[in-house]
Amino acid sequence: MSTDSRAHLVSSDVRDHNLGLVLTTVDRLGGAARAEIALETGLARSAMSNLSAVLLESRLLRPAEEQPVARIGRRIERLELDGRHLAVVGAQLEVDEALVLAHDLGGRVLYREALQVRTAHGDAEAIATLIAERVTACLADLTARSITPISLDLVVPGMVTDGETVKYALDLGWIGVPFRELVASRVPAFPAGVHLGGDAPLAGYAEFTALREEPGLAGLTNMYYLKSATGIGGAVIMDGRLLTGSHGTLYAPGHVIVVPDGLLCACGRNGCLATVADPEVVLRNAGLSDFRDRKGLPAALEELIRRARAGEEVASAAVTEAMRWFRMLLDNTIFLYEPELIVLGGYLASFVDELSRLPQPTLEWLGCGNLRGPLAIQPARRGAFAAVHGAITLRRLELLAAPTRCGLLAVV
């Protein structure tokens, strides 16, 4: 490579970085004037006007619909994210239902289809065919509206460590299923690829973005999410970012050891939280194993909540025992990660009061805005399909951060 082309490479990388900085800043501020963007990003005003011209021409930015009243002799134009011609697509699979969703690059909903999954339980090929068919229908709808699909994010109720394979999705009976490829081989190619993720961390991120839109919580940056529905999962958001660890599995609270030399866990270790507080264990302790086998896990967890609320003795004892373990986990997590807020998902959202009974010295660590102490432990706000929102929000941010590399400037 010649010195000239190397210099060109470096300068084009810097330019992409700066274009990305402008887009992610406008996204974060929900629209801003050029001077404000320059101030936030540290970019020189001259560079700023050049970058914004490129982004306006590429339809990634547009003049905001509501402009501030102009002062005499001075026009201050507010810019906002455009990208209405580009779509990030997501599909989340649950045990017997699924959601296909597309947002534009400004985060506005373009397409949404909820569907029942009526294929044979655990038949990965049949489920991949169904999801691919509905994604293809979504693409046809977008294309008819002159919108270009850029990426596809698949989300499954289980653990994914390599972006390719579902390591475990026990409710689907899947162990080691290459679901990304099963779907990718059945849909047209996406310029920014087809991706696969597990639901819990992505749902945690979606809860984080939902909370930040609430009055007084815009400054939230550190949050911890704990969910129990199919197994036990969670997410750690630190400095506004979802922590992933070196294998993409952080945070796996079900496999934190809580009983030294305890029962053997499916992961090959002894005494994990899952051996004493997995939903299957709690349902068994509550005398609901048969109910679960007949009606499925979601219905059995609803029945568990109903019986515990009604004061039924066996169910109440099983819930009390489970919450004791979850409080221990929360207590340790607060000291390990120092979150400002904790969000409880799955059936744990019904037991916020029980899980907020932590020692006072622990509760004193929690707080953001006017949510302090026990109030900083909140039920999840978004429903069963939170994770697909988290997945496409994260994808949108990744694309915005490197618009040239991700091919966004080429599509006008």
Note the residues at the interface with Zn ion (CB under 5 A).
Answer: 255, 265, 267, 269, 272
Minimum distance from residue 235 beta carbon to Zn ion (Å): 18
| Residue closer to Zn ion (CB basis): 44 or 267 | 267
CB 300 within 8 A of CB 292: yes
Minimum distance from residue 259 beta carbon to Zn ion (Å): 11
| Residue closer to Zn ion (CB basis): 257 or 401 | 257
Task: Report the C-alpha gap between 253 and 224 in whole angstroms.
Answer: 11
| Residue closer to Zn ion (CB basis): 272 or 363 | 272
Minimum distance from residue 243 beta carbon to Zn ion (Å): 20
**Dihedral class, residue 148 (left if φ above 0, else alpha if ψ from -120 to 50, else beta):** beta
| Residue closer to Zn ion (CB basis): 139 or 265 | 265
Minimum distance from residue 265 beta carbon to Zn ion (Å): 3
Please, what is the end-to-end C-alpha distance for the chain in angstroms? 31
Minimum distance from residue 227 beta carbon to Zn ion (Å): 17
Mapped onto helix, strand or coil, the DSSP state of residue 376 is helix
| Residue closer to Zn ion (CB basis): 256 or 343 | 256
Task: Report the C-alpha gap between 32 and 62 in whole angstroms.
Answer: 11
Q: Which long-range contacts (CB under 8 A, 24 or more apart) does 257-265 make?
A: 258/325, 258/328, 258/329
Per the DSSP assignment, residues forming a β-bridge with 227 are 233, 345
Task: Report the C-alpha gap between 255 and 282 in whole angstroms.
Answer: 16
Per the DSSP assignment, residues forming a β-bridge with 169 are 174
Task: Report the C-alpha gap between 225 and 236 in whole angstroms.
Answer: 6
What are 255's two structure tokens? 């496999």
Minimum distance from residue 134 beta carbon to Zn ion (Å): 34
CB 392 within 8 A of CB 101: yes
| Residue closer to Zn ion (CB basis): 184 or 272 | 272
